[in-house]
Structure 1
Amino acid sequence: MVRIKRGNIARKRRKKVLKLAKGFKGAHSKLFRVANQQVMKALKYSYVGRKQKKRVFRRLWITRINAITRNRYNKPYNKFMHEIKKENIGLNRKILSGLAILDPVTFDKINCHLDSVFSSKICDNKQDKY
């Protein structure tokens, strides 16, 4: 049998894994075999977490828009979004949620526009509301 000399490559691979495991507790950051398992698991969780983050934020934005439209305008979320889509207003849920919290006057103007188009209501924009 011919001797295979690859100590350098193996050492680099182990160092790379142990570097990724830095900050893990106990043997999970010291021993290669355990650290390798934990790094693989952590990478898997981080991949899944990136997908879950998108879902969680979308739910948050929907909840915020729903709460604001129900409280201020007595209009449910689905009706509000239906009117937004019908009018081809190019604002997504993230932007609408941010507007509702940070700039309620602009959000009121959007709702006034939707009311004037869909229910022939004329609404007055009161600036002293907020």
Structure 2
Amino acid sequence: MSRVTTAVATRQRKKKIFKKAKGFWGGRKNLYRIAKEAVMRAGQFAYRDRHNKKREFRSLWIVRVNAACRMNGISYNAFINGLKKNNIAIDRKMLAELAVHDPLAFTRIVEAARKESAAKAVPVAKGTPEIGPA
């Protein structure tokens, strides 16, 4: 029977780790044991933050839509409620894009949402808010 060595497999395994650790600082890029731990930890952070990114972007879209709604004199809650009642299926990402890049189209969507819904009137934001006595 022929003799089996693990040299090729070991070299490939180490090469894969070092490739993933490229750009790391100090021994984390060229000492195998340390690099392996650093790559594992980086993978955990990457996994966690891929999920957090979705959460953070949704939050950003909501903030942008809310600001645009208030500029059109309607609360975010009433706007979303009006969209649902009128069966307007536009997600928050697209609403935020419209609010930023095409405010006229967003205003038309607000008017469509306002028709059916008993929207709570919100004062339109003009200038800076007044600060009361301290």
TM-score exceeds 0.5: yes
Shorter-chain TM range is 0.7 to 0.9
Structure 2 distance, partners of 1:5, 1:21, is 26
The TM-score with structure 2 as length reference comes to 0.81
Aligned to 2:72, what secondary structure does the other structure show? helix
Code of the aligned partner of 2:106: F
Q: For residue 70 of structure 1, report the CA deviation from its aligned partner.
A: 1.5
Identify the residue that residue 21 of structure 2 maps to in structure 1: 21
Count of residue correspondences: 117
Q: Is the 8 A contact 2:81 2:117 kept in 1?
A: no
Q: For residue 4 of structure 1, report the CA deviation from its aligned partner.
A: 5.9
Which structure has more relative contact order (CA 8 Å, sep 6+)? It is 2
Q: Is the 8 A contact 2:79 2:114 kept in 1?
A: no
Aligned to 1:24, what secondary structure does the other structure show? coil
The TM-score with structure 1 as length reference comes to 0.84
Code of the aligned partner of 1:36: K
CA offsets 1:22-81 (integer angstroms, 9 cap, x no match): 0001100010000000000001111111000000000000011111111321x2211110
Q: For structure 1, list consecutive stretches of 5 or more residues without a partner in the other structure.
A: 120-130
Q: For structure 2, list consecutive stretches of 5 or more residues without a partner in the other structure.
A: 119-134
Q: Percent identity?
A: 41
Q: How does 1:88-107 map to 2 (within 5 A)?
A: 88-107=87-106
Structure 1 distance, partners of 2:8, 2:106, is 62
Higher helix share: 1
Q: How does 1:110-125 map to 2 (within 5 A)?
A: 110-119=109-118
Coordinate RMSD, CA, aligned:
1.6
The runs of at least 4 consecutive aligned structure 1 residues that moved more than 6 Å come to: none
Structure 2 distance, partners of 1:85, 1:15, is 53
